[in-house]
A and B are shown apart, each in its own frame.
Chain A
């Protein structure tokens, strides 16, 4: 009666990972329980809340609506991987944060933090395509993610702030990577 297992190999946060899983294993469960990357959260498991959003090939996807086997060969970035992106900097408390993560801590963009990983991934991808959103556009960009705590006000602010930090950290085309990056402390003061 044992289930048939399938070997899945994918790249998660830049690391190749292989595991044997049943065909029905959700990508969210695979990330959380097989790879113990518990930063990705599940709030509904039916594709509505967005808490489970990860980047698959840079595009936001709801990992509760994907099977692990369907991620075969793909590149997945979870919240744990955002701090490894080129525009991440180490903050005062030692964590490496990309501009979106940094902005959420500056703007009180989270309370319980449960919806947050899905928002961070969603907004990271959004700003890649829309580096300079208006407040209304920022609001629209997060309108596919449920948050029960914040009333969204500070999440909208966080998106706008993230765009600023992102611009501050952007490497001018001519410069070598790593050059002229502002230090994290310059990015709005950091957590007090």
Chain B
């Protein structure tokens, strides 16, 4: 093998196509399809009294109007609960079209199918629905108090209640030299990919077959769910994820009501049907995440060592729980980050509200957990007057303690056991990158100019590459072209490139000869999906294993033909040759010809594989025992547990003394995802994650009013950061390999966004001199906090680095 492609920042194979308008996203398909549009509830909670669609039927171009009553059999039954859990005692899912009750604004009630979307929307406007409004539950406090309930048969709005305990927390807290209790809140945000959801279905009436396309993170999941709903054999349903314009978690949820209804309508009407959501639909009917309230009680010694950590939190799961309680489980476990908590107890309540449902958004519960833990670390440092980085370092799990078993169950139902990582090294790199030890001077200079600056830090560990499995099929054509299929989908992570890099290395072929297909159930029927930073780990490993199988087979066949031992062969740039004697060789294409004994040649090259070509030993069967025709191989990777990546971020922020505007002056990232297949792509993932994190820290929140209306359901009002809001991101990497998989890799997709709210809060707190306990924070929020601080309603930090008008209060005893 010549130069190794693994580890090189190779340009992406998908880009020439995507920059020239050659992308094929969902709405680029099916120009002649009928269009679906939906009547969605304008009420957050109401009984549906009556639906009158008479006027709508009169419109030219309307082909069908359907409400729940029209849905036959399983199509009309509740949507599946994807991830059941024993603690999810009151799991509830919605219907594809609401049955008698609507539980959030945006819930679909009626589907219209028409000749085009304009007409379909006209029809929706003519449909009159009468509602009888019911009491509305919005926000965690109102869900928790339980005076009104979302589902009448769910007392107190509690979908799930789960406690995990390691050690005797009460005893450890009772004897701890110091204790602190913090209330920490994170508000709702959402994945918000630039391309929304969409479904396009073609029904083949002659063959009773459905082909559907969905802008999804799991085509195998959609296929199985739709086959079940429509009572079709799996063999009669194919699902393809075309180019997908971003996912960030929201598209792992499935089946969306529309993913069931659009194929159903296509079969019913015997015509292709398509639905592509508009931006408002995405805001009010896809999924959100992040909303949680946390109470942390921590016990620690004089040096800042954790002795006990007692965490209670309340998770807003929205109106339904189709994705189970994955998000709060991740918070509960990943909150621990790189630290040894001492005795640990975590207890959460997952609560219903009359809002859009909650499913994982990049980071999936980790940003909240990280915020809770890192705020706690800062509070300990402040209480003891210690350096914040030092307190963290004192609690790190050390490399010598790996693998480290926390004694908890992770989101995959397996032990939370860290496999690798060198946290002290990561911290040292970060401190060097941001100039941690020199910041005091920097601050002094800023203060002298009347400016307020602060330094913040946040550390996290991320369980990546969760199972159960992924697979890959690798095939070499007689031309030497290598086809690679993986079942997992792509939403911009460069899968066509990184998996080609792995195959090119493993097989010894050129990058340009490798072609990767993702997320097409026709090519790979067994797959799980793209989430939890698992693609590189899971599919990367599967691709390597499958390519190794093909390599072994190629060597066997070539060894036979060249009459040498397979051990004497190597593959270089697509040619199998004798080591040290490269003249004795054959191309992989020729090996592919020989792998498939033919009766009929289809070109000159394949004549060598025909019966009278004299290339075969007449004593042996044409296909040797234990072999299959074709130069191809398939393999699966199924790990016993997740692999744990980690990282640490630091930021310097400046807050305007008058306007409370918050500016990030520097943002530094040190990240350890093991060996990087393509550092350019990893870096891109980190950048994108940090930008989303900045959005979550400073700008993005879902603003519901008390009646359950989402007040900012547009890009005008939901403030996603533009380039002007995202700072320059400085990165450094550490590559501690995972012992768990053949390539040693760990996931990277979500990392960037996990600690950002924690880091920014830490930095603002450092600049202002009083605790920040709620994120996101806007200038208006900060301004209000300053007023409360000035009025003595908020206690100051103890550390005395913040000369301000309120410095006098710094001596006040803390509660």
Answer yes or no: B92 CB below 8 A from chain A CBs. Answer: no
Nearest to A140 among chain B residues (CB) is B724
Number of A residues with CB within 8 Å of any CB on chain B: 66
CB within 8 Å for A105 and B12 given contacts A139-B723, A149-B688: yes
Q: Is A53 an interface residue (CB 8 A)?
A: no
Q: Which residues of A contact B511 (CB under 8 A)?
A: 192
Residues of chain B contacted by A113 (CB below 8 angstroms): 14-15, 18-19, 23, 243, 245, 492
B493 touches A111 (CB 8 A): yes
Contact B687 A151 (CB under 8 A): yes
From A40-48, A66-74, A174-182, give the one contacting chain B. Answer: A40-48
For window 62-88 of A, CB contacts with B under 8 Å fall at 78-80, 82-83
B245–A1 contact, CB under 8 A?
A: no
Q: Does A142 contact B723, Cβ atoms closer than 8 Å? A: yes
Residues of A in contact with B (beta carbons under 8 Å apart): 1-2, 22, 24-25, 32-33, 36-46, 48-49, 51, 78-80, 82-83, 91, 93-97, 101, 104-106, 108, 110-117, 120, 139-140, 142-156, 190-192
Q: What residue in chain B is nearest A49 (Cβ atoms)?
A: B715
- Which chain A positions have C-beta within 8 A of B646? none
Known interface pairs A43-B195, A142-B723. Does A112 touch B19 (Cβ–Cβ under 8 Å)?
no
Chain B residues within 8 Å of A, Cβ to Cβ: 10-25, 27-28, 31, 58-60, 118, 192-195, 243-246, 248, 278-279, 491-494, 511, 680-681, 683-684, 686-692, 714-716, 720, 722-724, 726, 728-729, 752
Looking at chain B's contact residues, the main secondary structure is: loop
Chain A residues with CB under 8 A of B715:
43-44, 46, 48-49, 146
Question: Chain B residue with minimal CB distance to A80?
Answer: B21
Starting from the known contacts A38-B24, A83-B20, 4 additional A-B residue pairs (CB-CB under 8 Å) come to A33-B31, A95-B17, A113-B492, A152-B722
**3 cross-chain pairs, A with B, having the tightest CB-CB distances, nearest first:** A39-B21, A112-B492, A114-B245
- 25 CB-based A-B contacts, threshold 8 Å: A1-B59, A33-B31, A38-B21, A38-B23, A39-B22, A41-B245, A44-B279, A48-B716, A79-B21, A105-B11, A108-B681, A110-B15, A110-B19, A114-B492, A117-B21, A120-B19, A147-B194, A148-B691, A149-B492, A151-B690, A152-B722, A153-B729, A156-B723, A191-B13, A191-B15
List A contacts of B728 (CB < 8 A): 153
A43–B276 Cα distance when bound, in Å, is: 11
* Interface contact A112-B246, CB-CB below 8 Å: yes
In the complex, residue of chain A having the shortest beta-carbon distance to the beta carbon of B718: A48
B219, chain A: closest CB distance, angstroms: 16
Shortest distance between the CB of A116 and any CB in chain B (Å): 6
B20 and A97 within 8 A (CB): yes
CB neighbours of A148 from chain B (8 A)? 192-194, 246, 248, 688, 691-692, 720
- Within 8 Å by CB of B684, from A25, A39, A41, A108, lies A108
Q: In the assembled complex, how far is the CB of residue B684 from the closest CB belonging to chain A, in whole angstroms?
A: 5
B193 CB contacts on chain A under 8 angstroms: 112, 114, 148
Given A143-B722, A156-B723, A93 and B23 touching (CB < 8 A)? no
- Supposing A32-B27, A143-B722, A151-B688 touch, asked if A115 and B716 sit within 8 A by C-beta, the answer is no
- Which of A40, A48, A144, A151 is within 8 Å of B729, CB to CB? A151
| Contact present for A152 and B194 (CB under 8 Å) | no
Per a CB cutoff under 8 Å, which of B13, B195, B716 touches A46?
Answer: B716
CB distance from A8 to the nearest CB of B (A): 16
Contacts of B28 in A (CB 8 A): 32, 38
* Chain A neighbourhood of B58, CB < 8 A: 1
Question: How many Å lie between the Cα of A148 and that of B494 in the bound state?
Answer: 15
Q: Assess the A91–B687 pair: CB atoms within 8 A.
A: no
Task: Tell me the smallest distance from the CB of A21 to a CB of chain B, in Å.
Answer: 10
Quick check: B723 and A1 within 8 Å, CB to CB?
no
Partner of B19, one of A2, A41, A97: A97
Chain A residues with Cβ below 8 Å from B245 are: 41, 43, 112-114
Q: Judging by beta carbons under 8 Å apart, are A43 and B194 in contact? A: yes
Q: With both chains docked as a complex, state the minimum distance between the C-beta of A110 and any C-beta of chain B, in angstroms.
A: 6
- Is B246 a contact partner of A79 (Cβ separation < 8 A)? no
Of B16, B278, B492, B714, most buried by chain A (CB within 10 Å of CB) is: B16
**C-alpha gap A14/B27 in the complex (Å):** 25
- Given A38-B28, A114-B245, A192-B11, is A108 in contact with B680 using a C-beta cutoff of 8 Å? yes
Whether A39 contacts B20 by the Cβ 8 Å rule is yes
B19 & A139 in contact (Cβ 8 Å cutoff): no
The smallest C-beta distance from B269 to any residue of chain A, in angstroms, reads 20
Give the most central of B13, B19, B681, B716: most A CB within 10 Å.
Answer: B19
A154 and B684 in contact, given A114-B25, A147-B194, A149-B246 (Cβ under 8 angstroms) = yes
Return chain B residues, CB-CB under 8 Å to A114.
23, 25, 193-195, 245-246, 492
With A36-B31, A41-B195, A112-B244: A150-B687 Cβ-Cβ less than 8 Å: yes
Please measure, in the bound complex, the distance between the C-alpha atom of A191 and the C-alpha atom of B511, giving whole angstroms: 11
Other-chain contact of A143, B27, B691, B724 (Cβ < 8 Å):
B724
Residues in B neighbouring A152, C-beta threshold 8 A:
687, 691, 722-723, 726
Bound-complex Cα distance A106 to B16 (A): 10
- Shortest Cβ distance from A114 into B: residue: B245
Residues from chain A with a CB closer than 8 A to the CB of B27 are: 32, 38, 42
